[in-house]
Structure 1
Amino acid sequence: MKERLVILGGGESGVGAALLGKKHGFEVFLSDKGNLKDEYKNTLIENSIEFEEGFHTEEKILNADLVVKSPGIPKKADLILQLNSKNIPVVSEIEFASRYTEAKIIAVTGSNGKTTTTSLVYHILTQAGLNVGLGGNIGKSFAQLVVDDVYDYYVLEISSFQLDDVATFKPYIAILLNITPDHLDQYDYKLELYARSKFKITENQTHEDYFVYNFDDDTTVELLKEINTNAKKIPYSMNTEMQDGTYADDSNVHVNYPYELKLSISEFSLRGRHNVANTMAAATAANILKIRKDTIKRSLSDFTAVEHRLETVLKIGGIEFINDSKATNVNATYYALESMNTQTVWIVGGTDKGNDYSDLIPLVKKKVRAIVCLGLDNSKILSAFEGLVDNIVETKSMQDAVRAAYMLGKKGDTVLLSPACASFDLFENYEDRGNQFKKEIKNL
Structure 2
Amino acid sequence: MAERDYIVILGAGESGTGAAILAQKQGFDVFVSDFGPIDSVFKKQLTENGIPFEEKQHTESAILSAKEVIKSPGIPETVPIIKNIKAKGIPVISEIEFAGRYTDAKTICITGSNGKSTTTMLTYHILKNAGLNVGLAGNIGKSFALQVATEQFDWYVLEISSFMLDDMYQFKADIGVLLNITPDHLDRYDYKMEKYVDSKLRILQNQTPGDVFIYCADDSETLKGLERYTIQAKVYPFSIEKELNLGAYLKNNEININLENQSSFIMSITELALQGKHNIYNSMASGIVAKVLELRNESIRESMGNFKNIEHRLEHAGRISGIDFINDSKATNINSTWYALESMTTDVVLILGGVDKGNDYDMLKDLVRSKVKAIVCLGKDNKRIHDAFEDEVEVIVNTFSAAEAVQIAYHLAQKGDTVLLSPACASFDLFRNYEDRGNQFKAAIKEL
1:373 aligns with 2:377: yes
| 1:70-99 residue CA offsets vs partner (Å, 9 max, x unmatched) | 111001111111111111000011111111
Cα separation, 2, equivalents of 1:390 and 1:23: 60
1:281 aligns with 2:285: yes
Which of 42, 55, 58 in structure 1 is aligned with 2:57? 55
Q: Which residue of 2 aligns with 1:2?
A: 4
Shift of 1:28: 0.4
Which of 241, 244, 265 in structure 1 is aligned with 2:243? 241
Cα separation, 1, equivalents of 2:113 and 2:268: 26
Q: Which residue of 1 aligns with 2:334?
A: 330
1:435 aligns with 2:439: yes
5+ residue gaps, structure 1: none
1:420 aligns with 2:424: yes
More displaced 10-residue stretch of structure 1: 281-290 or 407-416: 407-416
| 1:275-312 residue CA offsets vs partner (Å, 9 max, x unmatched) | 00110000000000111111011111111122111110
Give the match's secondary structure for 1:254: strand
1:25 aligns with 2:20: no
Which of 327, 345, 361 in structure 1 is aligned with 2:365? 361
Shift of 1:250: 2.9
Cα separation, 1, equivalents of 2:232 and 2:381: 45
Q: Which residue of 2 aligns with 1:174?
A: 176
Cα separation, 1, equivalents of 2:74 and 2:66: 20
Shift of 1:400: 1.4
Q: Which residue of 2 aligns with 1:99?
A: 101
| 1:98-117 residue CA offsets vs partner (Å, 9 max, x unmatched) | 11100010010000000110
Q: What is the total number of aligned residue pairs between the two structures? A: 444
Cα separation, 2, equivalents of 1:228 and 1:394: 49
| 1:18-41 residue CA offsets vs partner (Å, 9 max, x unmatched) | 000010001000000100111110
Question: Is this contact kept in 2: 1:203–1:229, CA < 8 A?
Answer: no
Give the match's secondary structure for 2:9: strand
Question: Is this contact kept in 2: 1:101–1:149, CA < 8 A?
Answer: no
Shift of 1:149: 3.5
Question: Is this contact kept in 2: 1:397–1:426, CA < 8 A?
Answer: yes
Cα separation, 1, equivalents of 2:242 and 2:157: 28
Which of 194, 198, 215 in structure 1 is aligned with 2:200? 198
What is the letter of the counterpart of residue 421 of structure 1? C
Determine what percentage of the aligned residue pairs are the same residue.
56
Runs of 4+ displaced beyond 3 Å: none
- State TM-score, norm by structure 2: 0.98
What is the letter of the counterpart of residue 255 of structure 1? I
Which of 411, 414, 434 in structure 2 is aligned with 1:407? 411
More displaced 10-residue stretch of structure 1: 325-334 or 175-184: 325-334
| CA RMSD after TM alignment | 1.0
Q: Which residue of 2 aligns with 1:387?
A: 391
Shift of 1:228: 2.0
Cα separation, 2, equivalents of 1:32 and 1:409: 45
Q: Which residue of 2 aligns with 1:226?
A: 228
Q: List aligned pairs for 1:144-183, cutoff 5 A.
A: 144-183=146-185
What is the letter of the counterpart of residue 437 of structure 2? R
What is the letter of the counterpart of residue 372 of structure 1? V
Which of 305, 308, 312 in structure 2 is aligned with 1:304? 308
Shift of 1:387: 2.7
Cα separation, 2, equivalents of 1:44 and 1:406: 45
What is the letter of the counterpart of residue 279 of structure 1? S
What is the letter of the counterpart of residue 299 of structure 2? T
- State TM-score, norm by structure 1: 0.98
Shift of 1:344: 0.9
Q: Which residue of 2 aligns with 1:261?
A: 265
Shift of 1:412: 1.7
Shift of 1:13: 0.4
1:269–1:359 CA distance, 2 compared to 1 (3 A): same
What is the letter of the counterpart of residue 435 of structure 2? E
Cα separation, 2, equivalents of 1:264 and 1:406: 35
Give the match's secondary structure for 1:226: coil
Q: Which residue of 2 aligns with 1:397?
A: 401
What is the letter of the counterpart of residue 164 of structure 1? D
Cα separation, 1, equivalents of 2:268 and 2:344: 23
Give the match's secondary structure for 1:403: helix
| 1:332-361 residue CA offsets vs partner (Å, 9 max, x unmatched) | 111111111211110001111111111211
Cα separation, 2, equivalents of 1:340 and 1:214: 22
What is the letter of the counterpart of residue 181 of structure 2? I
Cα separation, 1, equivalents of 2:420 and 2:270: 25
More displaced 10-residue stretch of structure 1: 257-266 or 385-394: 257-266
Give the match's secondary structure for 2:227: helix
Cα separation, 1, equivalents of 2:341 and 2:222: 24
Cα separation, 2, equivalents of 1:158 and 1:283: 19
Q: List aligned pairs for 1:37-186, cutoff 5 A.
A: 37-186=39-188
What is the letter of the counterpart of residue 409 of structure 1? A
Which of 295, 317, 320 in structure 2 is aligned with 1:316? 320
Cα separation, 2, equivalents of 1:169 and 1:313: 39
Cα separation, 1, equivalents of 2:405 and 2:123: 35
